[in-house]
Amino acid sequence: MMMTTAAELLVRRDAGGIAEAVRAGAVSATQLAHASLERIAQTDPRINAFTDVTARRALDSAAALDARLAVGDSVAHALPLLGVPFAVKNLFDVAGLTTLAGSKVERGRPAAAGDGPLVRRMQAAGAVLVGALNMDEYAYGFTTENTHEGPTHNPHDPTRTAGGSSGGSAAAVAAGQVPITLGSDTNGSIRVPASLCGIFGLKPTYGRLPRNGTYPFVASLDHLGPFARSARDLALVFDVLQGFDALDAACVNRPVEPTARTLAEGAQGLRIATLGGYFTEHAQPEALAAVARVASALGATRTVELPEVARARAAAFLISNAEGGALHLPDLRTRADDFEPLSRDRFLAGALLPAAWVVQAQRVRRWFARQAAELFRDVDVLLAPATPCVAPAIGTEWIEINGQRLPARASLGLLTQPISCIGLPVCAVPVWGCHAGLPIGVQVIAAPWREDLVLRVAHELQQQGVATAPVAMMLEAAA
């Protein structure tokens, strides 16, 4: 009977609600860990989100939490993520697991000696790690069509992609396997899968969260962040994850700026505008409809434009290509055939880019950041589609956007790439009803360091019922 309760909690409540249930004694951390492991066992053969399940560790961690609660440990009782199961993209260091970053190349390498900082912070907040998640190899992709591990399937329609590169992270949350996951976003790898899987994703400001203890892709552009089924959960987790770490050269030494306590302020008093131009020209009708619905709910009638967005996207592309290629050059020299066929030739080409192109890209990037800063003098929050379209079928090679035939895999990031190029904080919020059966995300964007604003707006949209992240119904029926 209690196991049924834990299983129901897992798919019906968000992480904050689950922690409250543990705190109230309605369910134990151990029961939740079992429920998560059972749901993974039931559903993952169809989803393929997990590459490792850390069952022993999960049950030991949960038992330790329950033991602390049993003796009246008030510190344990107050933990914000008490007993909440979570999982991480397999580029996060997890003690005892080899950090694969989706690759075959890393498989023979030693296991991580310890957890990365963000995994440690989650555990210190009471969360229970249940495993590591599938991704595009070395994070270079938007579809999690991983040839070594097999593709991750979209829980809302398993014939379709979950998005990527953090596809396992998004699918695990949409499938109700865990309420929280962590992923990374260099050009859209949190926001794209959040959009296609219909869940909330937060890409914080560049430099906010430490990235040491994860496998890098593009040091100039890499971000880490959480996925969840509510904006409240994103805020709870983001607050737990914040804090400077000098071992990440890009991490900025700022005080922790909590966001959960200001969520209820909503969108009141915020100047909100929709991004036009490039962002409407590269979106299909369902993506534009989702933005219009969000704008209407927020009373946002203005449309504004950022200049030279295509050039910003080009800059992010070239920086990623060059840094990614250079990072993997030693393995590309000796074992190129072991790389993911879908990205190998891009990595090889990236290793050859002239330095002048990359330096120019970094200069254009700074210019574009200045233009955005100018725009943010007059507006607090910007809205744009997260992806040009809903989830394509796995294996799709081409999509059509505004009459243009474009390569599907690269084009899923057309709308996220210019924003991460300049490190702005973004919450991807899931919108239903703009397509016959699939969700699509909207980017809620703010000036640097204003994660509080994007989370307030996301929370407001959820309160209004405009943004929702239900667990996939098809799985509910089959489970």
Partner 1 sequence: MTPPEIEAYVDAAAAALNLPLSAAHRPGVLHYFALAAGLADLIAAHPLTIADEPAEVFVPISPAGHGAA
- Name residues contacting partner 1, limited to 255-314 (CB under 8 A): 308, 310-311, 314
DSSP state of 261: G
The interface region with partner 1, picked from 61-69, 98-106, 337-345, 456-464 by CB under 8 A, is 337-345
89 annotated active-site: yes
The least CB distance from residue 221 to partner 1, in Å, is 10
- Token pair listed for 76: 């344990």
Catalytic residue among 28, 103, 184, 189: 189
CA–CA distance, 63 with 80 (Å, rounded to integer): 17
Q: Are strands 302-304 and 272-275 parallel, antiparallel or unpaired?
A: parallel
In the set 362, 371, 396, 464, which binds partner 1 (CB under 8 A)? Answer: 362
CB 130 within 8 A of CB 58: yes
Q: Is 383 exposed, middle or buried (0-12, 13-18, 19+ CB in 10 A)?
A: buried
- Name residues contacting partner 1, limited to 338-357 (CB under 8 A): 344-346, 348-354, 357
189 annotated active-site: yes
Q: Which residue lies nearer to partner 1 by CB, 142 or 317?
A: 317
The interface region with partner 1, picked from 32-40, 88-96, 285-293, 315-323 by CB under 8 A, is 315-323
The interface region with partner 1, picked from 58-66, 77-85, 158-166, 325-333 by CB under 8 A, is 325-333
Number of C-beta neighbours around residue 100 at 10 A: 25
In the set 365, 409, 435, 456, which binds partner 1 (CB under 8 A)? Answer: 365
Q: Is 362 exposed, middle or buried (0-12, 13-18, 19+ CB in 10 A)?
A: middle
- Name residues contacting partner 1, limited to 209-228 (CB under 8 A): 220
Q: What angle do CA 174, 241, 123 make, to 5 degrees?
A: 75
Q: Is 301 exposed, middle or buried (0-12, 13-18, 19+ CB in 10 A)?
A: exposed
In the set 333, 378, 400, 478, which binds partner 1 (CB under 8 A)? Answer: 333
Q: Which residue lies nearer to partner 1 by CB, 78 or 252?
A: 252
Q: Which residue lies nearer to partner 1 by CB, 148 or 311?
A: 311
The least CB distance from residue 114 to partner 1, in Å, is 19
Q: What angle do CA 216, 222, 227 make, to 5 degrees?
A: 105
The least CB distance from residue 364 to partner 1, in Å, is 5
Q: Are strands 398-401 and 404-407 parallel, antiparallel or unpaired?
A: antiparallel
Q: Tell me, by CB under 8 A, how many residues bind partner 1.
A: 38
Q: Which residue lies nearer to partner 1 by CB, 108 or 330?
A: 330
Contacts of 7 (CB under 8 A, 6+ apart): 35, 38, 39
165 annotated active-site: yes
The one-letter amino acid code at 19 reads: A
Contacts of 269 (CB under 8 A, 6+ apart): none
Q: Which residue lies nearer to partner 1 by CB, 45 or 337?
A: 337
Helix (H) or strand (E) holding 34: helix 29-47
In the set 212, 262, 360, 396, which binds partner 1 (CB under 8 A)? Answer: 360
Q: Which residue lies nearer to partner 1 by CB, 66 or 137?
A: 137
364 is a site residue for partner 1 (CB under 8 A): yes
Q: Which residue lies nearer to partner 1 by CB, 157 or 305?
A: 305
In the set 24, 71, 75, 249, which binds partner 1 (CB under 8 A)? Answer: 249
The least CB distance from residue 79 to partner 1, in Å, is 29
DSSP state of 96: T
Contacts of 190 (CB under 8 A, 6+ apart): 166, 169, 183, 184, 201, 202, 203, 223, 225, 227, 428
| Interface residues toward partner 1, by CB under 8 A | 220, 246, 249, 253, 308, 310-311, 314-315, 317-318, 321, 329, 332-333, 336-337, 344-346, 348-354, 357, 359-367, 369
Catalytic residues, which ones? 89, 165, 189
